[in-house]
Every structure is written in C-alpha cells, then in structure tokens.
Amino acid sequence: MSTDSPAPRHIPVMLERCLDALAPAISAPGAVVVDATLGLGGHSEALLTRFPDVRLIAVDRDPQALKLSAERLAPFGDRATLVHAVYDEIPRVLDELDVPEVQGVLFDLGVSSMQLDEADRGFAYAQDAPLDMRMDQTRGISAAEVLNTYGHGDLARILKVYGEERFAGRIASAVLREREREPFTNSARLVELVRNAIPAATRRTGGNPAKRTFQALRIEVNGELEVLDRAIPGALDALAVGGRIVVMSYQSLEDRLVKQYLQAGATSTAPPGLPVIPEELQPWLKLLTRGAELATEAEIEENRRAAPVRLRVAERIRRTRR
C-alpha cells in the first residue's frame, strides 16, 4: 500500500456494524468516543462523519500511522485529538485531556493494514523483509532479536502459547541450530525454517505453516496480550453509564481475554440464593452481542481481513466503585 494516499484503498473492518453498535451511546451532543487503535483512521473518519457532534480521541503506538491519519482527519479540526500512546495508556491520556468519562470506545486489535502492507515492517510472512515486527519502531526489541537471543525454553513457550503452535519445540530447536550458523535478519529464511521443521502431512493443510510463528513473534515483540490485559479494564473504567465498548479481535487469545472481562462485568457477584441482591453486587455491564459475532460473507468479500474477526459489544449500565 502506498503511504502517500492510503485512504482510497483502506477499507475499515466491519465499519457499519461498529458505527451501528456505538450509535445509541454517541449520538447526543457532547459525546466523546475513543478510537483505541487509530491505524489509518478509517473508523475514526467514519465516526466523525456519521456523528457530527462527537469528539474523537484517538491513540496509536505507531508514529507513521499517526502522521498519515492526522492528514486524513485534518478537515475535522479540533473535533479530533490524536495521541501517540499505547491503548493501555488511555486512562492517562483522558486524564491529561481533562476528560473524566467517555461514551464510546472502539478497539480494532491486531496489525493495521499499513503495517501488513509495508514490506519493511516484517509482519507479513508472504514477502521477504527485515524481521522487525515492532508496531512502534522507536522502542523495544525486534523479532530478529527475539530469535537470536531467546533460549530454547522461552522461544518454545511463546510459539506454543502465543502462536498455539503444536510443533513449538521442533521449531525452537531449529532456530537455535540455524542461528549458530548465521543470525536471523529476514523473514524468508524463517518461513523456510518453519516449513522444514513441521511434518509434511501437517504442511498440506491450514495455510502457510509460518503463520502461527509470525503471530507469536509479533505478540511477544509488542507485548500485545499484556497490554490488552491492562487496556480493557482501563477502557471500561472510563465508560460513562450508557457508554458502549466495541472490540474486534482477530485471534482466539485476544478474544478470550476480552470475553473474560466483559462477562465478568455482566455477571452478578452475589452468593447463590441471596434473596435480595445489593446494587454493588449486581452486573454493571450488559452484553449486546450473543457470544462473538463473525463477519458476514459480504463483509469478508469487501475486506478479506474481516474473515477471522470476532466482534463483541457491551454497554455500561451502572456506576461502580472499582
């Protein structure tokens, strides 16, 4: 994707579904909505266009995404505030902007279209590129550093846990053996190593066998699950009564974490058999999706990246002391 004009070809995932889910909470004048994963700004632009009275606060850890989105959202003036931050920093961002509560929060998790489409970022296993995978290239360790420095146990663990890779031990052994010969720098060599480490019968199904390894490395490099584990509670705390949160996850580890937090808020904490349930023990969230909603065939046809998405929506129904 050209970085000079991203907007025309950038199709936000499940856009209408997200707008419809947030609409009851952010249609009133003075509403504030947080785009926790700004990316190329497709969802943000649509929110500002559809809801002319809304104020947008958008965060992203990727400086290049912020630069491109700032150009895209410039016509909306001071209705849009863009901040360089990771989404677990939303409480701090809101505090610094003197925003005590918000009416909507949108998370579009995973890798942005720009990061996938730029070869030199190293996210895509389908093209040879430097093994970077950092969403913010100004900080942190790269995927190459992980491959070249982690011990067998740590490497096998992240492949098994973050990539749900059955052959994590075999791949880790192959990495340690190969890096003695030459350190890893580019993705094509890793793709070939994974292909050779996995049994031939397994390689025939399930797409590119390197997919799970690349997912695991990306999650490790960016600390995605740890960040998400802090971000969802922080975002929920910021929601006003009647406010809504929309989360799109792209793999089961993310979705499982989101599900746990939303279900916990939607469940009474009263002991069984209590005749009258005090308000502080009643649910403070209402689930607005039955389980995780999947993209329709039409949504997938419009944007292939919607195929794995799991969407969850919840509404805050009462204040809590947390």
CA distance 268 to 309: 28
CA distance 192 to 197: 9
Annotated binding residue at 87? yes
* Sign (positive or negative) of CA dihedral 44, 45, 49, 54: positive
Alpha helix segments (H runs only) across the chain: 15-26, 42-50, 63-73, 90-96, 113-117, 143-149, 152-163, 168-181, 187-197, 200-203, 211-222, 224-238, 252-265, 297-302
CA distance 108 to 78: 23
Annotated binding residue at 42? yes
Annotated binding residue at 60? yes
Annotated binding residue at 108? yes
CA 247 centroid distance within chain: 8
| Tokens standing for residue 71 | 């150009």
CB atoms within 10 A of CB 243: 26
Give the 3-state secondary structure percentages of the chain, helix then strand then coil, rounded to 5.
Answer: 50, 15, 35
CA distance 32 to 240: 10
CB atoms within 10 A of CB 149: 12
| Tokens standing for residue 146 | 């992980």
Measured CA angle at 270 (ends 269, 273), to 5 deg: 145
CA distance 201 to 219: 27
Annotated binding residue at 162? no
CA distance 279 to 170: 53
> Facing residues of 312 across strands?
247
Q: Which residues are annotated as a binding site?
A: 41-43, 60, 87, 108, 115
Q: Which residues are annotated as a binding site for S-adenosyl-L-methionine?
A: 41-43, 60, 87, 108, 115
